[in-house]
Amino acid sequence: MKNKILKLIFFLLTTIIGCDLYSQELESVIHFDGRYNKSDNAVVTYLKGKKIKDYRLSLFHSITLTQATEDIILFNTTVLNDKKHAVKIEEIYSQNKLRACYMQFDPINENSTLNRFILYKADQENAILIYMEGDTTLEQLIKIFINKN
């Protein structure tokens, strides 16, 4: 009986090890670890699957902060660091401060066709940070969002 249990555990372990593991290469992604779920001044949305299919996305994760100066400084730092890895960028500065930044990144690994996107908009107290994955491009996302307006 003991041998059978050990064999079953070994079998399960080999199966799990073979599974894909999520790789957090982008710094901004750490903000989406759930730390803002219980926050009084944040709205966090997480969508996956059919609901965002129209946008050609597979994952949509957003954080909207209000009256959160310190968090916005952190957001600015991680977004600026992630800029180095972006393949496409659109930035908007105002008074030498980053106000909006829309970036596209390569897929997470060679086997994936899903590009990654970070859309970020902020002023001194309020911010919107969005992380998305999808089989689309930054230009197509812009087109879709504009058509939706």
Partner 1 sequence: MEKKDKNRTCLSTEELKILMDKYYEGETNCEEERIIRLYLNQDNPISKQFKDDINVQSYISVFLNYEDQKMKIKNKNIYLRKIVIRSIISVAAMFLGFFLVPKFSETDDCIMYAYGKRVDNEEKIMTHLNLVILELDFEGTDIENQLSEVFN
By CB under 8 A, name the binding residues for partner 1: 7, 10-11, 14-20, 36-52, 60, 62, 64, 90, 92, 94, 99-100, 102, 119, 121, 123, 125-126, 128, 130, 142, 145-146, 148-149
Of 1 and 22, CB closest to partner 1:
22
Cα(74)–Cα(81) distance, integer angstroms: 11
Of 53 and 85, CB closest to partner 1:
53
Q: What's phi and psi for 79, nearest 5 deg? A: -65, -40
Of 7 and 85, CB closest to partner 1:
7
Q: Shortest Cβ distance from residue 69 to partner 1 (Å)?
A: 13
Q: List Cβ neighbours of 65 (8 Å cut-off, separation of 6 or more).
A: 36, 39, 41, 42, 71, 72, 75, 126, 127, 128, 129
Q: Shortest Cβ distance from residue 32 to partner 1 (Å)?
A: 11
CB 136 within 8 A of CB 56: yes
Q: Shortest Cβ distance from residue 67 to partner 1 (Å)?
A: 11
Q: Is 84 exposed, middle or buried (0-12, 13-18, 19+ CB in 10 A)?
A: exposed
Of 62 and 106, CB closest to partner 1:
62
